[in-house]
Amino acid sequence: MIPAAAQPISVTRALTRSLLPVAVGLGLGLGLGQVVPTGTYAEKILFDIGINIILAVSLNLVNGFTGQFSMGHAGFMALGAYASIVVTYYGGFALFGDVGCHLNAQGYGLYFTSLVVGGLVAAAAGYLVGLPSLRLRGDYLAIVTLGFGEIIRVVLQVSYAVVEPEEMATVDWWERPLHLGKSLGFVHQGAYNSLSWTYAAVVLTLLCAYRLRESTHGRAFLSVRENEIAAEAVGIDTTRYKVNAFVLAAFFAGVAGALFGHQLGTGTAARPEEFNFMKSFEAIIMVVLGGMGSISGAALAAVTLTLLTELLRSVQDYRMVSYALLLILVMILRPEGLFGTRELWHFLRRRRP
Amino acid sequence: MSLLEVDALDVHYGAIHALHKVSLAVEEGEIVTLIGSNGAGKSTTLRALSGMVQSSGGTIVYGGRSIVGLRSDEIVRLGLAHAPEGRGIFGSLTVRENLELGAFSRRDGKVRSDLERMFERFPILQERAQQSAGTLSGGEQQMLAVARALMARPKLLLLDEPSLGLAPKIVQKIFAIVAEINRDGVTILLVEQNAHLALSVAHRAYVLETGEVKMAGSASELAASDEVRKAYLGVG
Ligand SMILES: Nc1ncnc2c1ncn2[C@@H]1O[C@H](COP(=O)(O)OP(=O)(O)OP(=O)(O)O)[C@@H](O)[C@H]1O
Ligand SMILES: [Mg+2]
């Protein structure tokens, strides 16, 4: 049955509907940071899980929603990480006159700005990489993105040593962003991140992805994957949508990288090696495992695989072997992924009589 | 002036010269059919009109303006919708989502009422509204493809082989719907393998052979001509 007309929903209800999930989600995210003590193993695991959720859910926008195949997600993450560090380290020096971690309103304002900058730089790179290659068919994008990720990593390796505060005067400000710590990585930046920041970003990423999925634009993404010719026939500018998905995914990967770059003290640091092809590959596995197009599937796969990685740490050499086997098994037994395009709650709903 | 005027249209796929100086016209309110054997260039003609392939020569004037070089999404917005060959539904989306996507290019608020009208016309689609479109039968998918193209509220609808692979009874039904849509004011350019049916529903027809227009005329004229009867109607 079709409702006779769209029920006019009241403004308060509409507001509750759109703001409530944000408020509750953010509350939970921020709360997590308060509950889990810093410097613990639990914090490290939860941090890894959070970052991987953002990576998987954002990559899902490209590989799942629009059916493209991007293999360079780690490259965008790297760009986000380094761009945001440039903001907090070199920008922080310009602002505060030192490079310490300022845990006050100004410092957090700077950090928030750096997260946005990290996302935007990655998104801009996504646009530059995506625009030419998305005009071509699938395989080209895979190859181009793979190359892109490696180029970023190599370029970071040949950057200059980090400028220490006392040397700042000897290096022009516009040259400083080239001083990114070579292959040793950047370890001098302020440890601004915490689980609260991480999970606030996780919640926002999930909500954005979900809202997108439910919108006309989200449908347009899916239609590109389902049947590109038919999508064009109904008037969807398929190239534009593919580029948009790509840019959006790059943005979130950039934010994940920015968070990663400021999570110190749990064994992470912005080293070029952190953003190698394995990182991109892991994100791809999460999307394939969770289901191409399923947001909760990608998130759940991120949680599962992160935990699995921890459990397999003692046999680390075989980790990639087991990943590959897992991937092959999924391809054979359930090629659409565990969830397909459906969401967790679709399964729960069906169980009800 | 005709709603659609095509003059000396040329299309190449790489080295393949698929259309040679094809000229045709469609008047407002008509059903015009393109018939011809496999590979004659019928689908290519429709693709060129809807901007899915670029022409390499000639002019296409629709509603008084040239649409050569426009992207397909721009052309849809001008009221020229294309239901491509092979149905091309969005399999993992629901029937309703498919229909809503048909109205993607529209910005007016009447999508919902059009959706209801479409459900009235195709009751089976209403029954299957929440089902993923990939689970529909072939005939149902074809109805969905037609209904989805209609959701764009086209002035001119390009239909590519709506009867492909369907049982005779369903084919009859789809053609009845085509005639009905036309009576409601939608101009139709129909590509059909089944020349007999196509000529029975159309006002005028063009015969395409290896990328060239071989004959043109009113549907009844062509249906009576010996050449067409021999080559396409399997008579004589
Ligand atoms: N994408 C393509 N690339 C190369 N050649 C193509 C392409 N599409 C069609 N052709 C060629 O162009 C010619 C016309 O094809 P078209 O699809 O227009 O024929 P048709 O009349 O629709 O045939 P059918 O009745 O079999 O659908 C054929 O020789 C075909 O092989
Ligand atoms: Mg054809």
ipTM score of complex: 0.86
Q: Two tokens at A127? A: 């646009």
Q: Quick one: pLDDT at residue A349?
A: 63
Q: Quick one: pLDDT at residue A3?
A: 43
Which of B88, B104, B126 lies nearest to residue A236, judging by beta carbons?
A: B104
Could you tell me the pLDDT band of residue B1, with boundaries at 50, 70 and 90? confident
Instruction: Using the predicted structure, report yes or no on whether residue B66 has a pLDDT greater than 80.
Output: yes
pTM summary value: 0.87
B47 lines ligand 1 (CB under 6 A): no
Instruction: Using the predicted structure, report yes or no on whether residue B235 has a pLDDT greater than 70.
Output: no
Q: Quick one: pLDDT at residue A352?
A: 42
Task: Provide the 3-class DSSP secondary structure of residue B225.
Answer: coil
B192 lines ligand 1 (CB under 6 A): no
B12, B19, B44, B213: residue to mutate for ligand 1 pocket, most atoms within 8 A of CB: B44
CB atoms within 10 A of CB B113: 12
Higher-confidence residue of A316 and B51: namely B51
Is the CATH number 3.40.50.300 carried by domain B4-90+154-232? yes
A237 CA to chain B: closest CA distance, Å?
Answer: 6
Residues of chain A with confidence (pLDDT) below 50: 1-7, 351-353
B82 lines ligand 1 (CB under 6 A): no
Closest ligand (CA of B208): 1
Which of B73, B93, B100 lies nearest to residue A232, judging by beta carbons?
A: B73
B15-B17-B18 Cα angle (round to 5): 130
Across the beta sheet with B80-83, the strand order is: B80-83, B156-160, B187-191, B31-35, B204-209, B212-218
Higher-confidence residue of B173 and B41: namely B41
Q: Quick one: pLDDT at residue A4?
A: 42
Q: Quick one: pLDDT at residue A324?
A: 81
B41 lines ligand 1 (CB under 6 A): yes
Q: Whose CA is nearest to atom 12 of ligand 1?
A: B18
| B146-186: pLDDT as tens digits | 999 999 989 999 999 988 878 888 888 889 989 999 999 99
pLDDT more than 70, % of chain A: 93
Q: Quick one: pLDDT at residue A1?
A: 39
**Chain B contact residues (CB < 8 Å to A):** 50-52, 71-73, 76-77, 81-84, 88-93, 97, 100-102, 104-105, 112, 115-116, 119, 126, 148-149, 152
Interface test with A, best of B47, B73, B75, B146 (most A CBs within 10 A): B73
A335 in contact with chain B, both atoms CB, cutoff 8 A: no
Q: Quick one: pLDDT at residue A19?
A: 80
Is the distance from CB of A267 to CB of A313 less than 8 angstroms? no
Backbone phi, psi, residue B26, to 5°: -130, 125
B209 CA to chain A: closest CA distance, Å?
Answer: 25
